[in-house]
Amino acid sequence: MDDLLREVIDIFVAEAREQADRIAQALLTMEQQPASIAKEIEELYRQAHSLKGSSASLGVEELSQLAHQLESALLPVRRQRGQLTAELVDLGLQAMDAVKLRVAGLQADNELGLSDVQRLTNRFEQLAHSAQPESPATTDRTADAATEARAGQAGSSRRAEPPAHREATRPTEDEQAETAFAGTSEAAESVRVSIDKLSALVQHTDALRRLRGQLEHHQSEVTTMLRGLEKLVRSGPKQGEAQVKRIDEDLQHLVRGLRSLRRDLMDDIEGLQSTTGELDDGLRAMQLLPASLLSQPLHRAVREACRSTGKEATLQLDGEDVFLDRTLLEAIKTPLLHVVRNAVDHGIEPVEVREAVGKPAAGQLRINIEQRGSQVELTVTDDGRGLDVVRIREVAQQRGLLSAKEAALLDENESYQLLLRPGFSTKEEITALSGRGVGLDVVSTTVRKLHGTLGIESAPGAGTTFTISVPLTVAASRVLMLEEQDHIFALPLPAIARIALPRREELATLGSQTVFYIDGQPHTVLRLSKLIGQTHTGEAPARQPLLQLRGSGGVVIACDRLRGEADLVLRPLPIELRRYPLLSSVAIVPSGPALFVLSPQGLLATATSLRLAQENLSRRRTVLVADDSITTRSLLRSVLEGGGYRVRTASDGDEALRIARSERIDLVVSDVRMPRLDGIGLLLRLRGDARTSRLPLVLFSGAQSEEDRLRGLAAGASAYLAKSDFERGQLVDVVTQLLKEEAT
pLDDT in tens, 239-282: 566 676 777 777 777 777 777 777 777 777 777 767 766 776 67
Q: Taking 70 as the threshold, does the pLDDT of residue 148 lie above it?
A: no
Mean pLDDT on 487-494? 89
Q: For the chain, how far is it from start to end, CA to CA, in angstroms?
A: 74
Nearest CA to 609 out of 644, 637, 645, 646 is that of: 644
Same domain? 445 vs 532: no
- Convert the pLDDT of each residue in 36-74 to its tens digit: 898 899 989 988 988 888 888 778 899 999 999 999 999
- Specify whether 278 is located in the same domain as 374: no
Structural domain includes residue 294: no
- What string of DSSP letters covers 604-664? HHHHHHHHHHGGGGGG--EEEEE-S-HHHHHHHHHHHHHTT-EEEEESSHHHHHHHHHHS-
Going from the C-alpha of 468 to that of each of 349, 376, 589, 728, the distances in angstroms are 24, 8, 26, 21
648, 659 Cβ separation under 8 angstroms: yes
Q: Which of 431, 459, 487 is the last residue of a domain?
A: 459
128: domain CATH number? Answer: 1.20.120.160
Q: What is the pLDDT of residue 233?
A: 61
Read off the pLDDT band of 215 (50, 70, 90).
confident
Q: Is residue 572 part of a domain?
A: yes
Q: Which has the minimum average pLDDT: 174-183, 353-362, 443-452, 721-730?
A: 174-183
In this prediction, residues 376-405 reach a mean pLDDT of 86
CB 504 within 8 A of CB 610: no
CB 394: neighbour CB atoms within 10 A?
15
What Rg, from alpha-carbon coordinates, does the chain have?
Answer: 34
Q: Give the span between the Cα atoms of 413 and 599, in whole angstroms.
A: 17
Are 555 and 500 within one domain? Answer: yes
Q: Could you tell me if 583 and 705 lie in one domain?
A: no
Query: 298, 431 in Cβ contact below 8 A?
Result: no
Model confidence at 154, pLDDT cuts 50, 70, 90, reads very low
Residues 18 and 163 in one domain: yes
Question: Do 650 and 506 fall into the same domain?
Answer: no
Are residues 396 and 520 located together in one domain of the fold?
Answer: no
pLDDT in tens, 707-738: 777 888 888 888 888 776 665 567 888 888 88
Band of pLDDT at residue 213, cut at 50, 70 and 90: low
> Domain of 363: which CATH number?
3.30.565.10
134 lies in the same domain as 57: yes
* Angstrom distance (rounded) from CA 145 to CA 568: 61
Q: Which CATH number belongs to the domain containing residue 654 in this structure?
A: 3.40.50.2300
State phi, psi for 650 to the nearest 5 degrees.
-140, 145
545: left (phi over 0), alpha (psi -120 to 50) or beta: beta
Band (186; pLDDT cuts 50, 70, 90): very low
Say what the pLDDT of residue 175 is: 44
For residue 472, pLDDT over 50 is answered with yes
pLDDT band at residue 513, thresholds of 50, 70 and 90? confident
* Count of helix runs (H) and strand runs (E) in the chain: 24, 23
Give me the mean pLDDT over the 607-612 stretch.
79
User: Is residue 136 over pLDDT 50?
Assistant: no
| pLDDT tens for each residue of 560-602 | 999 888 878 777 788 778 778 888 888 877 666 788 999 888 8
Please tell me the predicted confidence (pLDDT) of residue 263: 76
> Computed from CA positions of residues 711, 712, 714, 720, in that sequence, does the dihedral angle turn out positive or negative?
negative
631, pLDDT greater than 90: no
Average pLDDT estimate for 613-638: 78
Q: Determine the Cα angle at 82 with ends 78 and 87, to 5°.
A: 100
Structure confidence at residue 741 (pLDDT):
78
CA distances in angstroms from 470 to 277, 415, 571, listed in the order given: 23, 23, 15
- How far, in Å, CA of 21 to CA of 14, rounded? 11
Report the CATH number that the domain containing residue 526 is assigned in CATH.
Answer: 2.40.50.180
- pLDDT, tens digit, 9 for 90 and up, residues 10-19: 778 888 888 8
Q: Is residue 304 one of the residues assigned to a domain? A: no
Q: How confident is the model at residue 317 (pLDDT cuts 50, 70, 90)?
A: very high
**Which pLDDT value is given to residue 724?**
67
Sequence-distant (≥ 6) Cβ neighbours of residue 297 within 8 angstroms: 177, 180, 181, 184, 333, 337
Is residue 94 in some structural domain? yes
Q: Which of 459, 455, 488 is nearest to 469 (CA)?
A: 455
Q: Are residues 8 and 157 in the same domain?
A: yes
Q: What pLDDT, on a 0 to 100 scale, did the predictor assign at position 463?
A: 93
In this structure, the number of other CB atoms found within 10 A of the CB of residue 189 comes to 9
Residue 423 lies in a domain: yes
Domain membership of residue 307 (yes or no) is no
| DSSP label at residue 543 | B
Residue 177 lies in a domain: no
Do 656 and 575 belong together in one domain?
no
Whether 437 has a pLDDT exceeding 80, the answer reads no
Q: Calculate the alpha carbon distances from 330 to 4, 194, 545 in Å.
A: 33, 22, 37
Same domain, 723 and 676: yes
Structural domain ending residue among the three candidates 587, 610, 633: 610
pLDDT of residue 189: 52
Give pTM, 2 decimals. 0.53
740 vs 135, more confident: 740
Task: Note the pLDDT of residue 138.
Answer: 38
pLDDT value of residue 690: 81
Range of the domain at 72: 3-171
The pLDDT score that the predictor gives to residue 205 is 64
- C-alpha distances in Å from residue 735, one per residue of 393, 622, 631: 19, 11, 20
The C-alpha atoms of residue 625 and residue 732 are separated, in whole angstroms, by 13
Residue range 333-383, pLDDT digits in tens:
888 988 998 899 889 999 999 999 999 999 999 999 998 877 889 999 999
Percent of the chain whose pLDDT exceeds 90: 18
**Helices 61-78 + 114-131 axis angle, to 10:** 30
Q: Specify the pLDDT at position 614.
A: 67
Could you tell me which residues come within 8 angstroms of residue 114 by beta carbon, excluding any fewer than 6 positions away?
62, 102, 105, 160, 166
Reply yes or no on whether the pLDDT at 638 is more than 70: yes
**21, 133: one domain:** yes
What is the reported pLDDT for 466?
94
In this prediction, residue 1 has a pLDDT band, given cuts at 50, 70 and 90, of low
Q: Per the structure, how many domains does the chain have?
A: 5
Residue 306 within a domain: no
pLDDT for 297: 86
Residues found in the chain:
744
How many CA atoms, within 13 angstroms, populate the side-chain half-sphere of residue 294? 29
Dihedral sign, Cα of residue 270, residue 271, residue 274, residue 280:
negative
Domain boundary among 403, 425, 459: 459
**Around Cβ 742, how many Cβ atoms within 10 Å?**
14
